[in-house]
A and B are shown apart, each in its own frame.
Chain A
Amino acid sequence: QVQLQESGPGLVKPSETLSLTCTVSGASINGYYWTWIRQSPDKGVEWIGYIYYSGATNYSPSLKSRVTISIDTSKNHFSLNLSSVTAADTAVYYCAGGVNRSGPWRDWGQGTLVTVSS
Chain B
Amino acid sequence: EIVLTQSPATLSLSPGERATLSCRASQSVGSYLVWYQQKPGQAPRLLIYDASARATGIPARFSGSGSGTDFTLTISSLEPEDFAVYYCQQRNDWPLTFGGGTKVEI
Which A residues lie at the B interface, using CB under 8 A?
A: 44-47, 58, 60-62, 94, 96, 100, 102-106, 108-111
Contact residues of B: prevailing secondary structure: loop
Count of chain A to chain B residue pairs whose CB atoms are closer than 8 Å in the complex: 53
Q: How far does the Cβ of B26 sit from chain A's closest Cβ, in whole Å? A: 15
Please provide the chain B residues from 41 to 56 with a CB less than 8 Å away from any CB of chain A in the complex: 42-46, 49-50, 55-56
Given A44-B101, A45-B87, A102:B96 Cβ within 8 A: yes
Give the complex CA separation of A61 and B101 in angstroms: 22
Residues of chain B at the chain A interface (Cβ within 8 Å): 1, 32, 34, 42-46, 49-50, 55-56, 87, 89, 91-92, 94-101
Q: Are B46 and A104 in contact (CB under 8 A)?
A: yes
Interface pair B44/A45, CB less than 8 Å apart:
yes
